[in-house]
């Protein structure tokens, strides 16, 4: 998995492919390569590591053409080296393939092809596709690809070119995103709109089961029976500037500082202050539908799972509906209790997370209504759910999610407010919550204005080897998220716990070398968390405490303080998460880590 780019037209393809791959670097990858039809044969250049190494390989041995495909790989089958980098060639060199996803029956197909005399040069599952297409080719590349796909089990987003049918790129998807970029006398293919935004805003999103035949002046979408399929042309409405750093050292820092705007964008046109409710036009749920909900399941992965935990607390407290938060990767492998009165909320920044998509499909199969909370317009979850809420946070390039997290929590708060007001929540309480939501952008800016103080704390702890993050109530998920951010980008081991659980195990780790981050605003459980801070101090632990006011009870217990504004308890995790993001960022930078592309991680995980 990771990035796919393709081009066919009148221009030299190599620089366009490299540019597209660079636009997708944020997704995380460990090798890169291109394949081009140079008018006589298919030429491939590949390199392990970053795109700069691929550019060096091309500079040493130039290649160009007007038809080409490129790829950045995040290793699944086989080590991240040049041998396993994409594109992969067929045995006779006539077919080149790039692939996101996993071919589940690759070992069976490999054995069958080896019996036919094919020799494999990589450890990947992808190479199977190249040899299959060669074996099944009978004059038409798209027909050979279709016949090959009928033999394949698993997930894929693929792009294929052939010297035996050179005037086209054939693409197909099943579980891994692809789109066609429609140009003027040229066309593009990509797994991510950012790769082609500099050249066209007109895109055609492919659905599972689609096969696309892309030529210089035309394209067509067909199914696996070669029957034509109608597909709408959509327009990308965000700007190139939104996927550039804009003077910031890293995308992650830019996106942290964008949160006043991204949170405001999530609420824009939705928050109804006078009525104390929210207007969410994409839910496709009537008043009666909302009242019929007996239980809610929220399914997500990673950072989205943490925001889901906050959503669980919000919905149960205000709407009084039972909520279960499920890891999407586990949901369909158990026997969850789902009925026609169940609402399944699926959360994914990219809208393409394979585990979350599979969980949504399982919930639908069992009769639940599905509601998607995603950030990427036109994503698979957005197209397949029964209704949804777009975050409108803008493109998030940094692999470690920041602004999408806060926008997810805000979106969940808006949905909760609407749901609760349809039930028993009073207009007075609704107005109080709406006003607190309305104040968030300015309050987040207050926190960001204190970034230098957080950076100073990061300098003190950049060489730590372990961190503990503790919070209670609504702030326990924020502690989990703070620990995850530190792990993801600085590679420091960190754990998040409910503060009261510390004494049931983690307290054994606490000594003078263990920094402990407490989220301790003045909320309903403040007195309880003060006791937990005292327990850490009694064992010589070092405390970093996020507070919301000058608290006499905390005097003498705080080694390092980060102050945030006061808000409702239910919204505290939004404000508390911002300094935790900054702390992780500054520690990672001071340790020399690659903040935007942390090792082993990918932005959009499209394999199980």
Enclosing H/E stretch for 115: helix 106-115
CATH code of the domain in which 515 resides: 3.40.50.10490
Enclosing H/E stretch for 278: strand 277-278
Per-residue confidence (pLDDT) for residue 605, from 0 to 100 = 64
Let me know the angle formed at the C-alpha of 51 by 49 and 55, rounded to the nearest 5 degrees: 115
Four-CA torsion 582, 583, 584, 586, nearest 10 degrees = 80
Looking at the fold, whether 223 and 85 belong to one and the same domain comes out as yes
Per-residue confidence (pLDDT) for residue 602, from 0 to 100 = 65
Hunting for tokens 């202050």 — which residue is that? Answer: 273
Four-residue CA torsion sign, 98, 104, 110, 112: negative
Looking at the fold, whether 377 and 306 belong to one and the same domain comes out as yes
Spatial CA neighbour of 368 closest among 394, 392, 387: 387
Spatial CA neighbour of 81 closest among 16, 32, 19, 143: 32
Looking at the fold, whether 415 and 472 belong to one and the same domain comes out as no
Phi/psi-derived region of residue 409, left when phi > 0, alpha when psi is between -120 and 50, beta in every other case: alpha
Q: Is the CB of residue 579 less than 8 Å from the CB of residue 562?
A: yes
Phi/psi of residue 276, nearest 5 degrees: 60, 40
Q: Is the CB of residue 324 less than 8 Å from the CB of residue 295?
A: yes
Looking at the fold, whether 381 and 464 belong to one and the same domain comes out as no
**CA–CA distance, 73 with 462 (Å, rounded to integer):** 31
Q: Could you give the 3-state DSSP secondary structure of residue 561?
A: strand
Instruction: Say what angle helices 106-115 and 127-136 make with each other, to 10 degrees.
Output: 50
Phi/psi of residue 161, nearest 5 degrees: -130, 155
Phi/psi of residue 544, nearest 5 degrees: -115, 115
Let me know the angle formed at the C-alpha of 317 by 314 and 319, rounded to the nearest 5 degrees: 85
Looking at the fold, whether 212 and 68 belong to one and the same domain comes out as yes
Last residue of a domain, one of 413, 446, 479: 446
pLDDT per position as a tens digit, 307-352? 999 999 999 999 999 999 999 999 888 888 889 999 999 999 988 8
Q: What b/e sequence results for 541-553 when a residue is b if at least 16 CB atoms lie within 10 Å of its CB, and e otherwise?
A: bbbbbbbbeebee
Q: Which residues contact 161 (CB under 8 A, 6 or more apart)?
A: 6, 35, 37, 42, 67, 68, 69, 95, 96, 141, 168, 169, 170
Looking at the fold, whether 48 and 121 belong to one and the same domain comes out as yes
Q: Is the CB of residue 213 less than 8 Å from the CB of residue 220?
A: yes
Q: Which residues contact 392 (CB under 8 A, 6 or more apart)?
A: 262, 265, 266, 268, 375, 407
Per-residue confidence (pLDDT) for residue 1, from 0 to 100 = 54
CATH code of the domain in which 89 resides: 3.60.20.10
Mean pLDDT by groups of 10 residues along the chain of 608 residues: 90 95 81 93 93 94 94 79 91 95 92 96 93 96 97 93 96 92 96 90 93 96 94 83 80 95 95 95 90 94 95 96 94 87 93 88 92 90 92 89 96 96 95 97 97 96 94 95 95 91 81 90 87 86 92 88 96 97 96 86 62
Q: Could you give the 3-state DSSP secondary structure of residue 141?
A: helix
**CA–CA distance, 421 with 600 (Å, rounded to integer):** 44
Looking at the fold, whether 419 and 350 belong to one and the same domain comes out as yes
Looking at the fold, whether 293 and 231 belong to one and the same domain comes out as no
Per-residue confidence (pLDDT) for residue 241, from 0 to 100 = 67
Domain membership of residue 608 (yes or no) is no
Looking at the fold, whether 134 and 277 belong to one and the same domain comes out as no
Using CA atoms, how far residue 499 sits from 11, 237, 421, 492, 536, in Å, is: 60, 44, 32, 20, 11
Provide the edge-to-edge strand list for the sheet that holds 493-498: 493-498, 466-471, 515-519, 542-547, 560-563
Looking at the fold, whether 427 and 478 belong to one and the same domain comes out as no
**What pTM was estimated for this model as a whole?**
0.81
Q: Is the CB of residue 25 less than 8 Å from the CB of residue 61?
A: no
Looking at the fold, whether 150 and 7 belong to one and the same domain comes out as yes
**CA–CA distance, 567 with 213 (Å, rounded to integer):** 54
The distance between the two most distant Cα atoms of the chain, rounded to a whole number of Å, is 81
Last residue of a domain, one of 206, 237, 268: 237
Four-CA torsion 449, 592, 50, 400, nearest 10 degrees = -40
**CA–CA distance, 146 with 233 (Å, rounded to integer):** 24
Last residue of a domain, one of 418, 446, 474: 446
Using CA atoms, how far residue 129 sits from 162, 281, 496, in Å, is: 13, 43, 43
Phi/psi of residue 34, nearest 5 degrees: -135, 155
Looking at the fold, whether 318 and 249 belong to one and the same domain comes out as yes
Give the number of domains in the chain.
Answer: 3
**CA–CA distance, 373 with 296 (Å, rounded to integer):** 14
Q: Is the CB of residue 197 less than 8 Å from the CB of residue 182?
A: no
| Six-digit token string for 324 | 């279960």
DSSP code at position 402:
S
Per-residue confidence (pLDDT) for residue 216, from 0 to 100 = 95
Active site amino acids: 2, 603
Q: Give the structural domain span for 289.
A: 245-446
Q: Could you give the 3-state DSSP secondary structure of residue 20?
A: helix
Q: Which residues contact 386 (CB under 8 A, 6 or more apart)?
A: 284, 364, 369, 370, 371
Phi/psi of residue 362, nearest 5 degrees: -65, -40
Q: How far is C-alpha 147 from the geometric centre of its chain's CA atoms? A: 32
Domain membership of residue 212 (yes or no) is yes
Per-residue confidence (pLDDT) for residue 535, from 0 to 100 = 87
Domain membership of residue 541 (yes or no) is yes
């Amino acid at each position: 998995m990771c990035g796919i780019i393709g081009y066919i037209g009148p221009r030299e393809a190599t620089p366009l492919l490299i540019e597209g791959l660079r636009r997708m670097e944020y997704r995380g990858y460990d090798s890169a390569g291109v394949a081009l039809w140079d008018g006589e044969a298919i030429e491939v250049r590949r390199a392990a590591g970053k795109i700069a190494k691929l550019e060096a390989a091309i500079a040493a041995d130039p290649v160009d053409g007007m038809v080409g495909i490129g790829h950045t790989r995040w290793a699944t089958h086989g080590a991240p080296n040049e041998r396993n980098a994409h594109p992969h060639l067929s045995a006779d060199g006539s077919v080149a393939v790039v692939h996101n996803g996993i071919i589940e029956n690759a070992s069976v197909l490999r054995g069958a092809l080896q019996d036919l005399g094919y020799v494999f040069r990589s450890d990947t599952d992808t190479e199977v596709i190249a040899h299959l297409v060669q074996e099944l080719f009978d004059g038409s590349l798209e027909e050979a690809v279709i016949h090959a796909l009928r033999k394949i089990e698993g997930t894929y987003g693929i792009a294929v070119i052939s010297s035996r049918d050179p005037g086209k790129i054939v693409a197909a998807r099943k579980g891994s995103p692809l789109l066609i970029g429609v140009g003027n006398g040229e066309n593009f293919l990509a797994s991510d709109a950012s790769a082609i935004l500099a050249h066209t805003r007109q895109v055609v999103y492919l659905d599972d089961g689609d096969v696309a035949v892309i030529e210089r002046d035309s394209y067509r979408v067909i199914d696996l029976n070669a029957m034509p399929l109608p597909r709408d042309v959509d327009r990308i409405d965000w700007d190139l500037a939104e996927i550039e750093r804009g003077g910031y050292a890293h995308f992650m820092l830019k996106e942290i500082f964008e949160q006043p705007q991204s949170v405001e964008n999530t609420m824009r046109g939705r928050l109804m202050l006078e009525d104390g409710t929210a207007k969410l036009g994409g839910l496709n749920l009537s008043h009666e539908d909302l009242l019929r909900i007996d239980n809610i399941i929220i399914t997500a992965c990673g950072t989205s799972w943490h925001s889901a935990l906050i959503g669980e607390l919000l919905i149960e407290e205000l709407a009084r509906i039972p909520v279960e938060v499920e890891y999407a990767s586990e949901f369909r492998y158990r026997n969850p209790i789902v009925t026609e009165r169940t609402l399944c909320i699926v959360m994914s920044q990219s809208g393409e997370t394979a585990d979350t998509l599979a969980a949504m499909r399982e919930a639908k199969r069992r009769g639940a209504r599905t509601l998607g909370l995603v950030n990427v317009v036109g994503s698979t979850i957005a197209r397949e759910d029964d209704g949804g809420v777009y975050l409108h946070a803008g493109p998030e390039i940094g692999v470690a999610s920041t602004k999408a997290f806060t926008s997810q929590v805000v979106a969940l708060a808006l949905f909760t407010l609407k749901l609760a007001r349809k039930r028993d929540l009073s207009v007075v309480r609704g107005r109080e919550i709406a006003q607190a939501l309305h104040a968030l952008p300015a309050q987040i800016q207050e926190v960001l204005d204190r970034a230098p103080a957080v950076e100073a704390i990061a300098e003190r702890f950049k060489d730590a080897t372990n961190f503990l993050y503790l919070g209670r109530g609504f702030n326990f998920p924020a502690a989990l998220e703070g620990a995850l951010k530190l792990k993801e980008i600085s590679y420091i081991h960190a754990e998040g716990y409910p503060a009261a659980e510390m004494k049931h195990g983690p307290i054994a780790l606490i000594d003078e070398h263990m920094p402990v981050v407490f989220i301790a605003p003045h909320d309903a459980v403040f007195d309880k968390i003060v006791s937990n801070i005292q327990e850490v101090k009694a064992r010589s632990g070092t405390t970093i405490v996020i507070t919301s006011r000058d608290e006499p009870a905390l005097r003498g217990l705080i080694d390092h303080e980060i102050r945030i504004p006061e808000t409702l308890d239910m919204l505290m995790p939004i404000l508390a998460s911002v300094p935790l993001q900054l702390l992780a960022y500054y520690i990672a930078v001071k340790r020399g880590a690659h903040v935007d592309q942390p090792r082993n991680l990918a932005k959009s995980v499209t394999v199980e």
